[in-house]
Amino acid sequence: MPSPNSPLNYLRQIAIGSATGLLLLILIIGGFTLAAPTKNGATQTPTSTPTDTPTVTPTAEGRDCSIAELALDDRLVGLHAQVINPATNEVLFDIEGDTPAQTASVMKLLTATAALQVLGPNYRIQTKVYADLDNPGHIVIVGAGDPTLSRARAGVQSVYKDAPKISDLAVQINEWARSTPITNIVLDSTYFAEEGWDPGNPESERTIGYQSLVTALQVDGDRNNPTQGTSPRSTDPVNAVGVALRKAIGPLASAATLTKAKAGTNLLEIASVKSQPISRWVEHMLKVSDNTEAEFLARLVSKQLGYDGSRDSLDVALKAALTRAGLATTDLVLLDGSGSNEANRVPATFINALLKKVLNEESDLGVIRRALPIAAETGSLASRFKGDNLDAAGKIFAKTGWTRHEYSLAGIIKAKDGTDLVFSIAAIGEVNATAKQAIDNLATGIYRCGNKLSAETTPKTN
């Protein structure tokens, strides 16, 4: 029984003497507050004491859908995986999620973010041609880091849709030259402080045709066939530009020599073309996992931030760009833009923090969300999530990854129960192509569980 001086006994005394008090008692006991009358008849609403925003604590309550058996698939060597509910920040599943690990082409999510933060979605690259006024008959083409510049003839699309054309430069050059022969074409590819091949990548990436050498001046990503995504690349992309330009100009340049050199200072601009906006690069890069676009975007970020565009500048430049998106980069090692270098190190926790921003379309990152390959429908996921995983078709939006020692997948899942989830999965070690199926099975399991996903990482025993 309450003491005579207890708050509850006091309220009872009020209630005995007043019907209004009785109503107050009922409302307070029921968990409500009542606007109290003031002396002049106006009402006054009590102000509650300010409190901090509650910290979300992961809970197992109601989470009884397990993917533990799927995670134990022998094909998932060296599994690193994490799933979060971005609305609550709860970690629903985690295996080595905090451990920095190689990324494969999931790295392109970071490169795309860096480019959108620093260059912006509407940024375009200009390739210009100048007349050297100190040397009559000499023209100079100056590269500014656009590998999409194409030698494909007018009316033919290269792999880079609506790319600027060498033929358009040639028309402008001929208009300027008219009947004056061009005796020398200078090729200036000095915009990046360093050219060449990342020694962390196997040469087969170039010879098979997945990636070109990095040079500030090249055409069609240096593909042998400008209309094929995978096409052998050369060891001299810069010279190929000169050959293409000389051919496109025609008779006025048929006898021109080709010289690799930095442009002089007494120049007159006579031709220029612009690339498609960076948003188009990001879309194409993510859908088909174009390594060349990724490497050039990383170096363009470096240059825009005041670095020299060299390979050695990428770690500091990309981290600076990612910081602009509100991401902590302390544990990262970023050695390239494409993820081909297996020495990159990024934890799943970082990838998921980035994906949460992509889901919410923060800071122009809606470009990435709209570009992600869709399970069983588009891009590098068009042929996956078939058969037993077909129920996840159209519901998983993710970037694929592959290197000699890794298969990965990271993105957004519109789960069966309607919950939006973000996830990162990587199998790292002595893997083979069958790991893709195991990853798809695991991702489909996440889709089916949704917000009921259990955090257990080992199956229950009888």
Indicate whether 94 pLDDT > 70: yes
Choice between 37 and 397, residue whose per-residue pLDDT is larger: 397
**Percent of all residues in the chain with a pLDDT value above 70, rounded to a whole number:** 86
Task: Supply the range of the domain harboring residue 393.
Answer: 68-120+281-452
What does the pLDDT read at residue 458?
77
Q: What percent of the chain has pLDDT over 90?
A: 82
- pLDDT at residue 117 is higher than 70: yes
Residue 85 near residue 413, CB atoms below 8 Å: no
Same domain, 296 and 430: yes
Mean model confidence pLDDT for the chain: 88
- Conformational region of residue 429, where left means phi above 0, alpha means psi within -120 to 50, and beta covers everything else: left
Query: Residues 272, 350: one domain?
Result: no
> 47-80: per-residue pLDDT in tens?
222 322 323 344 556 799 999 999 999 999 999 9
User: Residue range 291-309: average pLDDT?
Assistant: 98
- Using DSSP's 3-state secondary structure scheme, residue 7 falls into helix
- Residue 286 shares a structural domain with residue 403: yes
> How would residue 461 be classed by pLDDT, with cut points 50, 70 and 90?
low
Q: Tell whether 265 and 310 lie within a shared domain.
A: no
Q: What pLDDT does 127 receive?
A: 98
Are 269 and 286 in a shared domain?
A: no
Read off the pLDDT band of 459 (50, 70, 90). confident
Dihedral sign of CA atoms 34, 35, 39, 42 in order: negative
More confident call, 141 vs 34: 141
Task: Give first-to-last CA distance, the chain, whole Å.
Answer: 50
345 close to 101: Cβ distance less than 8 angstroms: yes
pLDDT band at 243 (very low <50, low <70, confident <90, very high): very high
What band does 153 get if pLDDT is binned at 50, 70 and 90?
A: confident
Element (H, E) at 436: helix 435-449
Any bridge partners for residue 186, and if so which? 140, 259
The per-residue pLDDT for 460 is 61
Encoding tokens for residue 345?
């190190």
Looking at 240, 256, 276, the residue that finishes a domain is 276
- Final residue of a structural domain among 208, 242, 276: 276
Q: Are residues 171 and 243 in the same domain?
A: yes
pLDDT category, 7, cuts 50, 70, 90? very low
- Give per-residue pLDDT as tens, 11-43: 333 333 333 333 333 333 333 333 333 333 333
Residue ending a domain, choose from 276, 309, 326: 276
Q: Say yes or no: 289 and 425 in one domain.
A: yes
Residue 60 lies in a domain: no
Read off the amino acid at residue 285: M
210 versus 47: the higher-pLDDT residue is: 210
Note whether 137 and 114 are same-domain residues. no
Residues 431 and 301 in one domain: yes
Cα–Cα distance for residue pair 439/427, rounded to 1 Å: 8
Q: Assess whether pLDDT exceeds 80 at residue 400.
A: yes
For 184, the enclosing helix (H) or strand (E) is strand 184-188
Residue 63 lies in a domain: no
pLDDT at 82: 98
Residues 339 and 396 in one domain: yes
- Domain assignment present for 421: yes
Would you state the pLDDT for residue 307? Answer: 98
Q: Return the higher-pLDDT residue of 455 and 437.
A: 437
Q: Is the pLDDT of residue 314 over 70?
A: yes
Same domain for 312 and 230, yes or no, is no
In a domain? residue 52: no
Q: What is the mean pLDDT of residues 322-335?
A: 97
In a domain, residue 353? The reply is yes
Q: Give the count of domains, the chain.
A: 3
pLDDT above 60: residue 406: yes
Domain at 404, CATH number: 3.40.710.10
Q: Are residues 179 and 207 in the same domain?
A: yes
Mean pLDDT over 262-281 rounds to 98
Tens digit of pLDDT for each residue in 351-362? 999 999 999 999
State pTM to two decimals: 0.86
Q: Which of 108, 203, 105 is nearest to 402 (CA)?
A: 105
Looking at the domain assignment, is residue 2 inside a domain?
Answer: no
pLDDT for residue 336 is more than 90: yes
